[in-house]
Structure 1
Amino acid sequence: MINLRTDNIPSDEERLLRIAEGDEKAFYSFYKEFAPRLRAYVWKSTRSDADTEEILQATFMRIWLSRDKIPAINNIQAWMYTITANTCLQHFRKQRNDRKKLEQLALSGKRDHDVSTPIDLVQLEEIKRAIGTALQKMSPRRKLIYRMNREEGKKPAEIAQVLSIPVGTVKNHLSASNKEIRELLIAAGYRAFILICVLLNFY
């Protein structure tokens, strides 16, 4: 049985139990500790900032969706890296841009420990559809700027140069588009997803 501490700093076991119960603050603390390690781990496979952030976002979303499994896990770090490895595998399968990387990950990944369930995947697809719905409501220019930034990994200055518009205009469009997506996701009940996106600088 876990002994609760009397100070304000939760033990690792306490924090994991809180996450399992849906505590977003505990999850925020968990993210701050482990995201840098997972980002470095993923980047070694992708060598792409855009792909790394996409995989990291999906990884932490899956961790959150699988939080009910946490109390039964003996090695939380191994569990997280397994989720990350499988998320990488799924990403490369979907993109099919680099078969060599896929083969390398397949050799080291532990597919039999994949924690993704049909329910997890359905929820992720629902979130993607919700974001797609928000994008469809944007003006063509705003949608273009958003996709150039999020999907192509271009910085505001690069977008401004390509489109021959001020950097400030690009930043304003990105800020507005991010606000629209946040509001739609919050209205759809994805508050925890918003937290993850903010932590990952997705918005």
Structure 2
Amino acid sequence: MVGLVLNAAGNGLCIVGAMGSGLWTAAAINLNDWQGWNIGAVLFTFGVLNALSNLLLIRRWDWPRLIGEVIYTLFFSYFVNVFTWLFTWLGLGNWPMVARIFVSCFGVFCFCVAISLYQRANIIMHPNDDTTNILRFLYFQGNATASQITDFIPPIIVIVVAWIATGKLLGINIATLFSFLGNGIIIAWADEHVWPRLVHNFKVKPSEAK
């Protein structure tokens, strides 16, 4: 629950700060501008697609994993809308540029810490973060940075397509660069310094380890 709220709040800070965001959120912002789709609805759709792709990555059908991740995505997309409304109401979007840079980068920091928490708990998490967990431990020998960078490829494609269609590039700024370069580093730092007694319990089944 802490991870869910912290993740949604961090994304809300990035959206309202408007000085960049995580790449998945930036992709949703650009689709919203291009097609008029609600950001929360786009994030939910991304989550469902992520949940399905995770089954391909682990090479087996896992109903509890799929259902849990879809439920998480539903609550996450709703809370992102709530926090976006709250921070807009508080006037964060009208703060000076330097303050909004700090707000957006702090938003990135918040959702990276959230990712660290629920990846270690390994009970229920956002499917996109399960993707990076799977990539990290099944494909990249525990390297958080490599798994994060690989996970950025799909949203980058979405952003580029929307950019070509509209001629506008939204949600991309200093905090996006901070997210691209720092996500894996912050997650690895949080693994050791934020609730350090909570350790990774990612379990690899024989069929997943091949």
Structure-2-length-normalised TM-score: 0.28
Structure-1-length-normalised TM-score: 0.29
**Of the two, which has the highest radius of gyration?**
1
Bigger RCO of structures 1 and 2 (CA < 8 A, at least 6 apart): 2
